[in-house]
């Protein structure tokens, strides 16, 4: 097996758009199943009453990470051909903070707001208009912040290389961390439910 | 008597049919989502995304309204390209179209499609929508600075063990938890 298929010319760029649509359907379906079309469910993550965001996100990351790890270990997947962004540490840290604030103010992230809008939520539609406004402002002032945007570039940084540990060890540590986070989330939810007298 | 109880049970059944079903087990959803992400890596050699599609849409919009202005802006120019192809003929744009469709299918199957505004009891609809717009704006801006949002950075880069994505993810949670207290009236 030679993966990623697209990079080995198994199909054309035009056909990749069909795949994009199909993958998007799976993505949207999963988000809706998880309750992520609903801002109240997403926001309850930040009040410790319903930790679904953490549970879904980390089980998704762990599943995909393990999949990639084993495909690479079996020699089926060339990881150097899988795209991910360069690390620009400071802009990404600042961007993450802004995004986190936007998450709890707006109630969604861009992907979940699409599902929200598709299932009739007006706040999701308005949120999406806000996202486009934010992108427009960013684009307009880009010449002023270009220096900051490209600052602290570290290139393509793979965590195992950066920490000087083996790929398998980092995968193991992430799984361990996720299991710990799940246990803490279950415990926290019970604690919060008891505090509010079992009413959720 | 029997006809009355018959009507009652029929109504009860109908009510049950139209009732929104409870959301699925989060761990199973996460595994499903992880498999979709894995499929994207293996088939395409790239992960999921969301905010990038809206960048293409905004860039295409600016190009329509003010073509010269768009061509002179280094950020929009990247999405417009050399003008030989439509900026909307883009992988992420098609993927996000799929997200809308997939979300709608799932919502319809579970009777969760409803024209409503999601908010806590202590905030008016108008204020909730104002916050939705502001939050969206912050998210759009932040995602551009961070080179992706929860999908493109946290999920995709998280699974690929990208340093910047993990730093980003921790900061998203930090920002959200730090702000949560001030937003409590909107949600609780």
What residues of A are in contact with residue B59 (Cβ under 8 Å)? 139
Instruction: Enumerate residues 94 to 123 of chain B having a beta carbon within 8 A of any beta carbon in chain A.
Output: 94-107, 110, 112-120
Average pLDDT, chain B: 90
Distance, CA of B99 to chain centre: 8
Domain ranges of chain A: 6-195
Chain A residues with CB-CB distance to B173 below 8 A: 100
Task: Confirm if B106 and B69 have CB atoms less than 8 A apart.
Answer: no
**What does the alpha-carbon distance between residue B71 and residue B86 come to, in Å, rounded to a whole number?**
14
Cα distance between residue A169 and residue A47, in whole Å = 33
Chain A closest-CA separation from residue B66 CA (Å): 12
Please indicate whether, in this complex, the C-beta atoms of A122 and B116 are within 8 angstroms of each other.
yes
Tens of pLDDT, residues B81-135: 877 788 899 999 999 999 999 999 999 999 999 999 999 989 999 999 999 999 9
Residue of B nearest to A48 (CA): B177
CB within 8 Å of B10: residues ≥ 6 apart? none
Which helix (H) or strand (E) segment holds residue B11: the answer is helix B2-18
Predicted-complex ipTM score: 0.95
Cβ contact A47–B187 (<8 Å): yes
Q: Which residue has the tokens 């950075």?
A: B153
Q: How does residue A196 score in pLDDT terms, banded at 50, 70 and 90?
A: confident
CB contact under 8 A, B96 and A24: yes
pLDDT of B5 higher than 60: no
Report how far residue B113's alpha carbon sits from residue A117's, in angstroms, rounded to the nearest whole number.
10
Please report, rounded to a whole number, the percentage of residues in chain B having pLDDT higher than 70: 91
Find the mean pLDDT for residues B55-82: 90
Question: Residue A105: which H helix or E strand, with range?
Answer: helix A89-106
Spatial separation of the C-alpha atoms in residues B137 and B145, rounded to whole Å: 13
- Which one of B74, B96, B169 has the shortest CB-CB distance to A114? B96
| pLDDT at residue A101 tops 70 | yes
């Amino acid at each position: 097996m030679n993966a990623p298929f697209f990079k080995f010319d198994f199909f054309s760029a035009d056909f990749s758009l069909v795949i994009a649509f199909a993958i998007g359907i799976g993505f949207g379906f999963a988000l809706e199943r998880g309750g992520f079309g609903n801002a109240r469910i997403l926001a309850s993550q930040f009040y410790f009453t319903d930790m679904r965001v953490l549970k879904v996100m980390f089980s998704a990351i762990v599943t995909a990470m393990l999949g990639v790890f084993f495909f690479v270990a079996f020699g089926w997947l060339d990881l150097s051909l899988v795209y991910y962004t360069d690390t620009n540490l400071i802009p990404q840290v600042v961007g993450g903070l802004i995004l986190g604030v936007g998450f709890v103010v707006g109630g969604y992230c861009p992907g979940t707001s699409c599902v929200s809008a598709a299932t009739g939520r007006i706040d999701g539609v308005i949120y999406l208009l806000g996202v486009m406004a934010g992108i427009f402002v960013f684009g307009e002032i880009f010449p002023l912040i270009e220096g900051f945007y490209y600052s602290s570039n570290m290139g393509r940084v793979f965590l195992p290389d950066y920490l000087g540990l083996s790929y398998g060890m980092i995968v193991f540590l992430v799984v361990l961390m996720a299991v710990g986070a799940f246990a803490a989330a279950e415990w926290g939810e019970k604690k919060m439910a008891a505090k509010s007298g079992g009413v959720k | 008597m029997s006809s009355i109880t018959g009507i009652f049970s029929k109504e009860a059944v109908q009510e049950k049919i139209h009732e929104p079903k409870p959301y699925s087990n989060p761990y199973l959803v996460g595994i499903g989502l992880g498999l979709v992400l894995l499929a994207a890596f293996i088939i395409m050699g790239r992960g999921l995304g969301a905010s990038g599609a809206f960048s293409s849409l905004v860039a295409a919009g600016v190009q329509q309204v003010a073509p010269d202005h768009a061509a002179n802006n280094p950020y929009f120019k990247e999405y417009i390209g050399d003008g030989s192809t439509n900026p909307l003929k883009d992988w992420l744009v098609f993927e996000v179209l799929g997200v809308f469709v997939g979300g709608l299918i799932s919502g319809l199957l579970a009777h969760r499609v409803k024209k409503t505004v999601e908010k806590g009891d202590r905030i008016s609809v108008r204020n909730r929508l104002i916050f939705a717009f502001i939050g969206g704006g912050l998210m759009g801006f932040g995602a551009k600075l961070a080179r992706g949002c929860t999908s493109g950075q946290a999920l995709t880069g998280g699974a690929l063990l990208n340093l910047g994505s993990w730093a980003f993810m921790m900061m998203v949670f930090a920002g959200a938890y730090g702000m949560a207290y001030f937003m409590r009236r909107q949600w609780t």
